[in-house]
Structure 1
């Protein structure tokens, strides 16, 4: 890309704007800004006004030097009243119809935009973000590899008496020392009955000599997330019931993966996994969807669930993560992240 060349993602947004007869679009979400411009702003520290010919960026003075060097296609201005300045710029340019993503605006900012006659629009950029290009897929593949290798590194280190927080610290240290900037979400490590809570908050529980383990974690690498869950029995006397639910979840995971391909309804992926768990007699203990989209955020559209009306497309990144949770006893969840390719689902959570 030459110095002033506009990124393809902005060109794609302009096509959607033209289709919707918009001659301007306001972008305030910092991840949408990173997606479009390749520069990371902290939340609420920049406002973009995108037209068919220009990209205006109103931000804090501390960003000016870096933005000029890394995103020279933008016309950047330091301003502490960024939203109102963007509104004034749109009016000065005589833009007839300026859109904004109503779902991503807070009450105050949305009110300002609406009162100035701007148009509430669907989440155009979220829709663009669903389908990853080759560069994005490679970054997510690397993020998933780091997470998987963290699992392989940490699992042999886990010993009776360690706390959940001890294990989480080892996972996070490995991922950071291998290129990750942060975690995709709060790392979940559960022992014993804690594994029966799908969104357990990692704590000080110590691992017993015979105990269930569940680890759900991921990392952010070059701005993109990974997500993986592994469950197993620690000790030599694995309960028969734990074996039963582990194998049921594993078969459900395989069925969900097998269902993934372009053109398949996301609820069909969920159903493929759910049928297996229902047949095993544990349907009431599978209390969440089978997966979610992933990219710059760990949970993005499309969602593999019965509530979704979406259809998978080549370039989507989604998880498959069925689970069975027996309150007060233990739970099992097995999760892989996959890329939807022309031939099916490519598992990314591997070496």
Structure 2
């Protein structure tokens, strides 16, 4: 069953006759369109791809299996008319649609039902082609890090390292970094999503580096933490080894049929037992694919049972205000039994001089 069939066959159980897809990543997933503005209107008796003048040539080159419509006026008028003539009496819409757009459809007499995650549920499990593409995004990111690593040393600023890493990502074939690169040295490392500054790396600093690559619209996401040689680094070495153990044990717990919360708890218990539970406040991982952060959510509030084919991160951390932080992030592919670790960079502690 292809992606469109998997979606449209669920319409009756969702209580709708058709679905409007507006989230551009979901549009790409279902149609192959790589532009930045389009809608899909899907039902048992019609499949419509709607965009505007800017993308008409691109749409005709990339999209097949849909009736392509170029609409330069109010797109809601077109959607209402097509929904009516195609027998879509109750239209499901994504939760990401704007309130103004939602109200506009209601005013024009469309019966609407808000649906959450109806495409994302399909996206959670990756096809072999997607897994290969994500693998290429990982390969590019790891190569870029290897090119950058010799320049990560005392005296270099966070911004310099981030800029060099971004440049190297482009050299390896990425259109851009997957997200704003995090380079957090010393005390800045206690902020999980710190922004790079002009602060220079100093002896004894922990340096947290979180980055990702891209390949054909798919992303990778990984983190490594390095330690600069210096005096009084014993506690920093200690928390690194705790996080590494949490990372490894969480990876070891991943398998088809295991609940996401179980994986999160495995990592969290290691850190809690070592006395640092209050310093690990974020989730253990998240799905990666057409978006850097997608389902499944590997956290205390995660709702998913892990299925073979899911690709997600394992990224426990400890963040000590005034000292710094450690995060070690890998990407894994869940299997029927166990998982494959897709990232391959060294993660044993490196002390750089």
TM beyond 0.5: yes
Give, in whole Å, the separation in 2 of the partners of 1:109 and 1:166: 43
Aligned counterpart in structure 2 of residue 280 of structure 1, from 274, 297, 319: 274
Give, in whole Å, the separation in 2 of the partners of 1:159 and 1:233: 9
Q: Aligned runs of 1:214-293 on 2, under 5 Å? A: 214-237=208-231, 239-293=233-287
Give, in whole Å, the separation in 2 of the partners of 1:170 and 1:128: 36
What's the counterpart of residue 97 of structure 1? 90
What's the counterpart of residue 48 of structure 2? 56
Structure 1 vs Structure 2 CA RMSD: 1.6
| Structure 2 spans left out of the alignment, 5+ residues | 346-353
Instruction: Tell me by how many angstroms 1:71 deviates.
Output: 1.1
What CA deviation, in whole Å up to 9, does each residue of 1:37-74 have, x standing for no partner? Answer: 111221xx222111224321221112111211221322
CA contact (8 A) 2:135 2:342 kept: yes
- 4+ residue segments displaced more than 4 Å: none
1:161 aligns with 2:155: yes
SS in 2 for 1:36: helix
CA contact (8 A) 1:47 1:82 kept: no
Instruction: Tell me by how many angstroms 1:238 deviates.
Output: 5.9
Q: Aligned runs of 1:50-199 on 2, under 5 Å? A: 50-80=42-72, 81-101=74-94, 103-115=95-107, 116-199=110-193
Give, in whole Å, the separation in 2 of the partners of 1:21 and 1:256: 38
Give, in whole Å, the separation in 1 of the partners of 2:151 and 2:181: 17
SS in 1 for 2:325: strand
| Structure 1 spans left out of the alignment, 5+ residues | 1-6
Instruction: Tell me by how many angstroms 1:335 deviates.
Output: 0.4
CA contact (8 A) 1:245 1:332 kept: yes
Instruction: Tell me by how many angstroms 1:14 deviates.
Output: 1.2
Give, in whole Å, the separation in 1 of the partners of 2:71 and 2:63: 18
Give, in whole Å, the separation in 1 of the partners of 2:3 and 2:212: 26
SS in 2 for 1:76: strand
SS in 2 for 1:183: coil
Give, in whole Å, the separation in 1 of the partners of 2:61 and 2:144: 35
What CA deviation, in whole Å up to 9, does each residue of 1:73-128 have, x standing for no partner? Answer: 22112213223311221112332222112x21111112223442122223210111
CA contact (8 A) 2:144 2:172 kept: no
SS in 1 for 2:77: helix
Relative distance call for 1:134 and 1:18 in structure 2 (3 A) is farther
CA contact (8 A) 1:140 1:295 kept: yes
SS in 2 for 1:292: strand
CA contact (8 A) 1:26 1:49 kept: yes
Instruction: Tell me by how many angstroms 1:236 deviates.
Output: 4.7
SS in 2 for 1:182: coil
Give, in whole Å, the separation in 2 of the partners of 1:350 and 1:148: 8
Give, in whole Å, the separation in 2 of the partners of 1:177 and 1:242: 33
Give, in whole Å, the separation in 2 of the partners of 1:309 and 1:123: 13
Give, in whole Å, the separation in 2 of the partners of 1:301 and 1:130: 6
Q: Across the two proteins, how many residue pairs are aligned to each other?
A: 342
Q: TM-score, normalised by structure 1?
A: 0.93
CA contact (8 A) 1:149 1:350 kept: no
Give, in whole Å, the separation in 1 of the partners of 2:77 and 2:39: 10
Instruction: Tell me by how many angstroms 1:210 deviates.
Output: 3.0
CA contact (8 A) 2:190 2:320 kept: yes
Give, in whole Å, the separation in 2 of the partners of 1:35 and 1:72: 13
Instruction: Tell me by how many angstroms 1:347 deviates.
Output: 1.0
Q: TM-score, normalised by structure 2?
A: 0.93
Instruction: Tell me by how many angstroms 1:340 deviates.
Output: 0.7
What CA deviation, in whole Å up to 9, does each residue of 1:229-271 have, x standing for no partner? Answer: 0002112546110011000000000011001011111110011
